[in-house]
Amino acid sequence: MTAAYEANVVLASKTYDVIGTRPIRHDGADKVTGRAKYGADFQTADLLYAKILRSPHSHARIKSIDTSRAETFPGIRAVVTAQDWPVGSGGEGPIQLGELTTDLKYLRDNIMASDKVLFKGHPIAGVAAINAHVAEEALNLIEVEYDVLPAVLTAPEAMQQGAPLIQEDLKTEEFGEKIDKASNVAEHFQHKQGDLDQGFAEADIVVEREFDTATVHQGYIEPHNCTVQWNKDGRLHVWNSTQGPFEVRDATAKVLGLSASEIKLTPMEIGGGFGGKFEPYGEPIAALLSRKTGKPVKVVMTRMEEFESTGPTSGAHLKLKMGATKDGQITAAYAHLAYEAGAYPGSPVSAGAMCVFAAYDISNIVIDGFDVLVNKTKSAAYRAPGATQAAMATETVVDELAEQIGLDPIELRLRNAAREGTRRADGVVFPRIGCVEVLQAMKDHPHYKEPLTGPNRGRGVAVGYWMNGGNQSSVNISIHSDGTINLIEGSPDIGGSRASISMQAAEVLGIAAEDVHPAVVDTDSIGSTGGTGGSSVTFKAGWAAHEAAHDVKRQMIERAAIIWEVSSDSVELHKGTFKSKTDPGLSMTFKELAAQLDETGGPIMGRGTVNPSGAGGAYAGNIVDVEVDPETGKVDILRFTVIQDAGKAIHPSYVEGQMQGGSVQGIGWALNEEYFMDDVGRMTNSTLLDYRMPIALDLPMIDTVIVEVANPGHPFGVRGVGEVNIASPPAAIANAIYKAQGIRMNVLPMNPAAIMEAIWRQQK
Amino acid sequence: MPTKTHVQTKINGESVEFLCEPRQSLLECLRDILQLTGTKEGCNDGNCGACTVNLDGRIVDSCLVLGVETQDKEITTIEGVASPDGLHPIQQAFLENAALQCGICTPGFIVASKALLEAEPNPSEERIRFWLAGNLCRCTGYDKIVRAVMDAAGQMEAK
């Protein structure tokens, strides 16, 4: 090697003054000193604490609920059940929550059950008391009688003829139309291109495999929380930790029969979400309790409630068949994707179908997708929802194709890689994308070139795809007389986005990132802003900041023109200095001009609102080395590299952070994490001891390469960076395990038991 | 309603008195009674480390300690790590190395890292990973946290 190895590399395509640098984040000091206020830290006078009674059964009819003993328990202030929902609330109709769509009736029933409980942990009643201990004690005094029904726990089971029906009136939507048949399949859709039979006829090699992946949780460290005050003027004030202030506000309003403007939601700092914090759980219950008591009511979930009653992502059953010619052209691909939705429709199977073959240019494809109800808690979004299950299947099958053809696995992928103009199976034709560049960077990486030695060791590769999202966003900028600016936005900052948004405004204005003071404000104080999800914030709110900064720039140029008594057309802003295009004597810094706003017309505010559609899809890939202990089945990650197309990395440190964090969530999904269910649908590992997420000692450093293929749909070329990095790690690890032990894994997690079973099967 | 107990203890160098129920954990006492909300709750059963505090020189999960057990003890929470002069080198290193994303686990990691560097001023990567094994972070994948602690060790040694 000629140069020293660099653990974190940025393959920059274009350089800027502020963008691409690594300033200290604006909210950093608050967060390293414990001063930042998260939702559960919120305190106010007269506060009551609520606890939720939850179903012990995964499927049962509620015969009766008797709350009378709880209501008279000392210290109890109110009890609510589904009887307390406002009459007429919760009408039908779809509602958008983050990346997923749900039906309002289902949303309300999920928050508090009325006639049936559909999963263990399903809320039945809420109790408000003078403290949380008293509330918890009173839960034991609520008497509920159930008729226990048989539970259905996996997609294949739920799809069988005669399976117990979870939603008795649910009719399958088949190819876009409701059919007159009740079943647990909420939807069956199909994407089709080319001629599948012809494609397989052209193939020399065909690989067909089935996969099962377990339910997994986002595992954010901060539990859901909220405090709600139903004011005497009829308005509701909510303080909580959420990814989607506007989404949760709107959904809460709908289930309570209020208009959105009757709720003010103040997003506190948020301790992780990964897609899981878009839905209201405690908010409407706390609201009903607040209305009854006239006092603010706080709900903080326990970790067990987090596992059992929030939205993990789907377990899935997948069948995949792919064919290729001897010279390495993939000619046909079929996928059957059955994803568990949980108790209500809305699994991420449609997104999974968009991703399953999106890394490849294949002429002949059929994809069947099934959204399947089971007696588990309703699924929610989790980082590139649906993509990881799909990539586990596709990328291990492609690995087998490469092996049978005798081609390097990256080379086979490169020969078939999706590029500009490739049609995704659901119809989208790709604009400029970075699939080839990511694969090439993987191939060129020192990690891929260096030999791996030692027994029981293997190296695997895989790639993943995610669409990324847009959505509306609003930013206001005001200017201080010292030349610093306030930037007001509505996207909860879950991982450094105050910095990445501020830097885009600073770039336009030619000022330092440190001269921007960003603030995330409540829903009354900023225009509508879609939530922090879909890898959208740096893309959309950054764009709104770009627009707001241009608005400021235009107005400041007018002020400079007034001072200089010239036409504003003759003034420009270059690297933070206003200049005359014609008279080199006329020049003023941003700060100098900011000090003269008073006398030239008063304050300046810049405004930026966008609803961009040009989100750039992104690819990421991994090179991973593992060692598999053939005696115990334990898999150790020896070395791990993640390569990802960021479009443009605004703050590279936080882009690397997303890549590393997503990779490690993928490692956890690959090796350890699962909802371990007993045969009647009770989760038996609902603690962070037994639901084993990766700890520091499990891991090596996670090396990164940021590839920059500018997104033509954004002023600075930004693609989303949050999600795609979780998609490929399980498949890359599976491929590495194959190299280490000669076993093809088709389940997640690939825990020691699964590895040993595969080794023993192979030895037979 | 249980009778409250009077507790006298030392928190972040200051003598503190409070009343708590015997069933209340130190975490609850810090957060709900004393408004020291920098110490976070992630699981309330000793498995995530978000509530890590230093108790008489040892790092503990404050959710597993009862408030009444802290009579006559010395406690350091995240609020006691920075000095009036500025941030502790570990806090500064966390900022410079982008070692936090959502920040909910950060107080626990900083309190634990401080105890590590007081015990072992120049730890290896392996020792850092071992010492921080009781603290869960779901955002970072630990890479930048480990680098921040190495960086802080270097900064503190240079002083």
Q: CA of A697 to nearest chain B CA: how many angstroms apart?
A: 5
CATH number at residue A604: 3.30.365.10
Name the residue of chain A whose CA is nearest to B140's CA.
Answer: A661
* A563 and A677 both lie in a single domain: no
Helices (H), A259-302: 283-293
Q: Which DSSP symbol is given to A438?
A: H
* A690 and A731 both lie in a single domain: yes
- Residue A701, chain B, CB below 8 Å: the answer is yes
Residues in chain B: 159
Which residues on adjacent β-strands are paired with residue A56? none
Q: Is the pLDDT of residue A764 over 90?
A: no
**Cα A71 from Cα A139, distance rounded (Å):** 10
Residue at token pair 């993640």: A642
Domain assignment of residue A394, given as a range = 386-413+423-468+616-763
Q: What is the mean pLDDT of chain B?
A: 97
Q: Is the pLDDT of residue A71 over 50?
A: yes
* Per-residue pLDDT, B7: 98
* A629 and A536 both lie in a single domain: no
Residues of chain A contacting residue B21, judged by C-beta atoms under 8 Å apart: 133
* A577 and A518 both lie in a single domain: yes
Which residues on adjacent β-strands are paired with residue A95? A102
Domain assignment of residue B43, given as a range = 5-80
| DSSP H or E segment with residue A415 | helix A409-415
- Ramachandran sector of residue A255 (left: φ over 0; alpha: ψ -120 to 50; beta: rest): alpha
Residue A57: what are its φ and ψ, rounded to 5°? -110, 150
Domain end point (choices B15, B48, B80): B80
Confidence grade of residue A97 (pLDDT, cut at 50, 70, 90): low
Q: Residue A755: inside a domain, yes or no?
A: yes
* B48 and B107 both lie in a single domain: no
* Per-residue pLDDT, A89: 58
Residue A221 to residue B44, Cβ atoms within 8 A: no
The pLDDT tens digits of the residues spanning A603-639 come to: 999 999 999 988 999 999 999 999 999 999 999 999 9
Q: Mean pLDDT throughout A449-476?
A: 97
* B58 and B124 both lie in a single domain: no
Residue A2: what are its φ and ψ, rounded to 5°? -90, -45
The pLDDT tens digits of the residues spanning B85-136 come to: 999 999 999 999 999 999 999 999 999 999 999 999 999 999 999 999 999 9
Residue A657 to residue B101, Cβ atoms within 8 A: yes
Full DSSP string of A50-101: EEEEE-SSSSEEEEEEE-HHHHTSTTEEEEEEGGGSPTT-S-S-EEEETTEE
* A243 and A143 both lie in a single domain: yes
- Residue A494, chain B, CB below 8 Å: the answer is yes
Confidence grade of residue B1 (pLDDT, cut at 50, 70, 90): low
Domain end point (choices B80, B104, B126): B80
What percentage of chain A reaches a pLDDT higher than 70? 98
Confidence grade of residue B2 (pLDDT, cut at 50, 70, 90): confident
Q: How many CA atoms lie within 13 A of B52 on its CB side?
A: 28
Which residues 385-444 of A have a C-beta within 8 angstroms of B?
none
Q: Mean pLDDT throughout A542-559?
A: 98
How many helices and strands in chain A, by DSSP H and E?
20, 32
Q: What is the mean pLDDT of chain A?
A: 96
Q: Residue A328: inside a domain, yes or no?
A: no
In one-letter notation, the amino acid at residue A299 is V
* Per-residue pLDDT, A100: 54
* B9 and B74 both lie in a single domain: yes
* Per-residue pLDDT, A104: 78
* B93 and B130 both lie in a single domain: yes
Domain end point (choices A558, A577, A610): A610
The pLDDT tens digits of the residues spanning A648-665 come to: 999 999 999 999 999 999
* B10 and B51 both lie in a single domain: yes
What percentage of chain A reaches a pLDDT higher than 90? 94
**Which tokens is A576 given?**
């933070």
The contacts found for A629-634 with CB under 8 angstroms, 24 or more apart, are A629/A456, A630/A456, A630/A741, A630/A759, A632/A752, A632/A756, A633/A751, A633/A752, A633/A753, A633/A754, A633/A755, A633/A756, A633/A759, A634/A752, A634/A755
* A635 and A758 both lie in a single domain: yes
CATH number at residue B148: 1.10.150.120
Cβ–Cβ pairs < 8 A, chains A and B:
189
Q: Is the pLDDT of residue A497 over 90?
A: yes
Domain count, chain A: 3
Domain count, chain B: 2
The pLDDT tens digits of the residues spanning A380-420 come to: 999 999 999 999 999 999 999 999 999 999 999 999 999 99
* A570 and A438 both lie in a single domain: no
The pLDDT tens digits of the residues spanning A419-439 come to: 999 999 999 999 999 999 999
Q: CA of A472 to nearest chain B CA: how many angstroms apart?
A: 23
Residue A32 to residue B40, Cβ atoms within 8 A: no
Indicate the residue of B77, B94, B147 with minimum beta-carbon distance to A32. Answer: B94
Q: Residue A684: inside a domain, yes or no?
A: yes
Q: What angle do CA A593, A594, A600 make, to 5 degrees?
A: 70
Pick the more confident residue, A478 or A105.
A478
* A464 and A477 both lie in a single domain: no
Residues of chain A contacting residue B95, judged by C-beta atoms under 8 Å apart: 24-25, 28-29, 32
Q: Residue A314: inside a domain, yes or no?
A: no
* A643 and A598 both lie in a single domain: no
End-to-end CA, chain B: 53
Residue A376 and residue A158 in contact, taking contact as beta carbons nearer than 8 Å: no
Q: Residue A449: inside a domain, yes or no?
A: yes
A733 closest CA partner among A396, A387, A335, A413? A396
The pLDDT tens digits of the residues spanning A337-372 come to: 999 999 999 999 999 999 999 999 999 999 999 999
Domain end point (choices B80, B112, B142): B80
* Strand blocks (E) in A75-175: 76-81, 94-97, 100-103, 116-117, 123-129, 143-148, 171-174
CATH number at residue B14: 3.10.20.30
The pLDDT tens digits of the residues spanning A311-342 come to: 999 999 999 999 999 999 999 999 999 999 99
Name the residue of chain A whose CA is nearest to B94's CA.
Answer: A32
Other residues' Cβ atoms within 10 Å of the Cβ of residue A476: 23
Confidence grade of residue A1 (pLDDT, cut at 50, 70, 90): very low
Domain end point (choices A586, A610, A634): A610
* B9 and B73 both lie in a single domain: yes
Domain end point (choices A309, A328, A356): A309
What percentage of chain B reaches a pLDDT higher than 90? 97
Q: Is there a cis peptide before residue A446, judged by omega within 30 degrees of 0?
A: no
**Which tokens is A503 given?**
């830097």
A661 closest CA partner among A311, A275, A383? A383
| DSSP H or E segment with residue A752 | helix A752-763
pTM for the whole thing?
0.97
* A506 and A460 both lie in a single domain: no
Of the listed ranges A177-186, A477-486, B27-36, the least confidently predicted one is A177-186
The pLDDT tens digits of the residues spanning A98-147 come to: 555 667 778 899 999 999 999 999 999 999 999 999 999 999 999 999 99
CA distances to A367, A430, B72, B126 from A194, in Å: 12, 17, 77, 53
**Cα A193 from Cα A566, distance rounded (Å):** 61
* A557 and A583 both lie in a single domain: yes
**Which tokens is A171 given?**
């009719």
* A580 and A628 both lie in a single domain: no
* B68 and B119 both lie in a single domain: no
Residue B41 to residue A220, Cβ atoms within 8 A: no
- Residue A34, chain B, CB below 8 Å: the answer is yes
